[in-house]
Chains A and B, each alone.
Chain A
Amino acid sequence: MPALPLNEAFPPSQTPPGSIRNFCIIAHIDHGKSTLADRMLGITGVVEARNMRAQYLDRMDIERERGITIKSQAVRLPWRSGLDGKPYILNMIDTPGHVDFTYEVSRSLAACEGAVLLVDAAQGIEAQTLANLYLAMENNLTIIPVLNKIDLPAAQPDKYADELARLIGCDPSDCLRVSGKTGMGVEELLDQIVLQIPAPQGDADAPARAMIFDSVYDTYRGVVTYVRVIDGHLSGRDQIMMFSTGVRHEMLEVGVISPEPIAGKGLGVGEVGYLITGVKDVRQSRVGDTVTNAVRPATVALGGYKDPRPMVFSGLYPMDGADYTQLREALDKLQLNDAALVYEPETSAALGFGFRCGFLGLLHLEIVRERLEREAGLDLISTAPNVVYRVIMEDGKEIRVTNPSEFPTGKIGQVFEPVVRATILAPSEFIGTIMELCQQRRGSLMGMDYLSEDRIEIRYSLPLAEIVFDFFDNLKSRTRGYASLDYEPTGEEDGDLVKVDILLQGEAVDAFSAIVHKDKAYAYGVMMTQKLRELIPRQQFEVPIQAAIGSRVIARESIRAIRKDVLAKCYGGDISRKRKLLEKQKEGKKRMKMVGRVEVPQEAFIAALSTDADVKEKSKK
Chain B
Amino acid sequence: MMPGELPVGEPVPSDGSLPEGVSAGKRPFALYIHIPFCARRCGYCDFNTYTIAELGGDDSIEKQYVDALIKEIILARSIVGDQQVTTIFFGGGTPTLLSSSEISRILDAVQLQFRLTDDVEITTEANPDSVTAESLGELRAAGINRISFGVQSTTPHVLQTLDRTHNPAQVPIVVHAARDAGFTHVSVDLIYGTPGETIVEWEESVRSLLTLPIDHISAYSLIVEDGTKLGAQVRRGLLAMPDEDLNADKYIVADDLFTAAGFAWYEVSNWAKPGGACKHNEMYWKNNDWWGLGAGAHSHIDGVRWWNKKLPAAYIKELQDGTSPALAREILTVEERSFEELMLGIRTREGLPLSLVSHSAAEAALADGNLDTEQYQIGRVVLTRSGRLIADALLRAFSDV
Binding site for B on A (CB under 8 A): 540-541, 562-580, 582-583, 585-586, 589, 597
Contacts and interface: CB of A to CB of B under 8 A. Distances in A.
A540 B368 CA distance: 8
Interface stretch (B176-184, B349-357, B392-400): B392-400
A540 B290 contact: no
Nearest to B267: A570
Contacts of A569: 1, 220, 223, 269
Interface stretch (B96-104, B157-165, B253-261, B336-344): B336-344
B395 A572 contact: no
Contacts of A541: 368
A572 B284 contact: yes
B389 A566 contact: yes
A571 B390 contact: no
Task: Decide if the interface of chain B is mainly helix, strand, loop or mixed.
Answer: mixed
A567 B392 contact: yes
A582 B342 CA distance: 11
A579 B292 CA distance: 19
A564 B251 contact: yes
A572 B292 contact: yes
Nearest to B8: A580
A575 B393 contact: no
B3 interface: yes
Contact of A573 (B297, B393, B399): B297
A568 B269 contact: yes
Given A563-B248, A582-B396, A572 B2 contact: yes
A26 to B, nearest CB: 56
B284 A571 contact: yes
Interface string B346-375: 010000000000000000110010100000
B391 A566 contact: yes
B268 A586 contact: no
Contacts of A576: 7, 9, 298, 305, 307, 330
B122 to A, nearest CB: 16
* Nearest 5 pairs of A and B residues by beta carbon: A573-B2, A563-B248, A568-B220, A573-B298, A566-B391
Nearest to A573: B2
A572 B396 CA distance: 21
Nearest to A568: B220
Nearest to B47: A573
B71 interface: no
A78 to B, nearest CB: 69
Contact of B7 (A566, A580, A586, A589): A580
A573 to B, nearest CB: 3
B256 to A, nearest CB: 16
Contacts of B1: 569, 571, 573
Nearest to B218: A569
Interface in B222-266: 222-223, 244-245, 247-248, 251
Nearest to B252: A563
Given A570-B268, A570-B285, 16 more contacts: A540-B365, A564-B247, A565-B391, A566-B347, A566-B392, A566-B393, A571-B281, A572-B284, A572-B292, A572-B299, A573-B307, A576-B7, A576-B305, A586-B396, A589-B396, A597-B364
Contact of B292 (A563, A573, A578, A583): A573
B221 interface: yes
Given A572-B292, A580-B7, A586-B400, A564 B389 contact: yes
A360 to B, nearest CB: 45
B5 interface: yes
B29 interface: no
A563 B284 contact: no
B7 A577 contact: yes
Nearest to B342: A582
Contacts of B300: 572, 575
A464 B36 CA distance: 71
Contacts of A571: 1-2, 281, 284
A564 B244 contact: yes
A575 B396 contact: no
B339 A575 contact: no
18 contacts: A562-B244, A563-B245, A564-B245, A564-B247, A566-B268, A566-B393, A567-B392, A568-B221, A569-B269, A572-B32, A572-B299, A573-B298, A575-B298, A575-B340, A577-B3, A582-B392, A585-B392, A597-B364
Nearest to A539: B393
Contacts of A574: 2-3
B388 interface: yes
Contacts of A566: 268, 347, 388-393
A596 to B, nearest CB: 11
Given A570-B343, A571-B284, A577-B7, A565 B298 contact: no
Contacts of A564: 221, 244-245, 247-248, 251, 389-390
A295 B107 CA distance: 108
Contacts of A579: 336, 339-340, 343
A540 B392 contact: no
A569 B300 CA distance: 17
A568 B368 contact: no
B292 to A, nearest CB: 6
A540 B2 contact: no
A566 B307 CA distance: 24
B97 to A, nearest CB: 20
A583 B251 CA distance: 26
A582 B396 CA distance: 7
A527 to B, nearest CB: 26
Given A540-B368, A566-B268, A585-B396, A575 B284 contact: yes
Nearest to B339: A579
A572 to B, nearest CB: 5
Interface in B313-350: 330, 336, 339-340, 343-344, 347
A585 B307 CA distance: 24
A576 B389 CA distance: 21
Q: Which among B285, B292, B392, B394 has the greatest number of chain A C-beta atoms within 10 A?
A: B392
A573 B300 CA distance: 9
Contacts of B299: 572
B268 A575 contact: no
A565 B392 contact: yes
A545 B389 CA distance: 24
A579 B346 CA distance: 13
Interface string B271-309: 000000000010011000010100011111000010100
Q: Which among A566, A569, A582, A589 has the greatest number of chain B C-beta atoms within 10 A?
A: A566
Contacts of B368: 540-541
Contact of B284 (A567, A570, A580, A583): A570
A607 B365 CA distance: 30
A504 to B, nearest CB: 16
B343 A578 contact: yes
Q: Which among A563, A572, A574, A579 has the greatest number of chain B C-beta atoms within 10 A?
A: A572
A586 B3 CA distance: 22
A571 B238 CA distance: 30
A279 to B, nearest CB: 52
Nearest to A575: B340
Nearest to B2: A573
Contacts of B307: 573, 576
A572 B298 contact: yes
B390 A540 contact: yes
Contacts of B269: 568-569
B166 to A, nearest CB: 21
A563 B364 CA distance: 16
Contacts of B296: 573
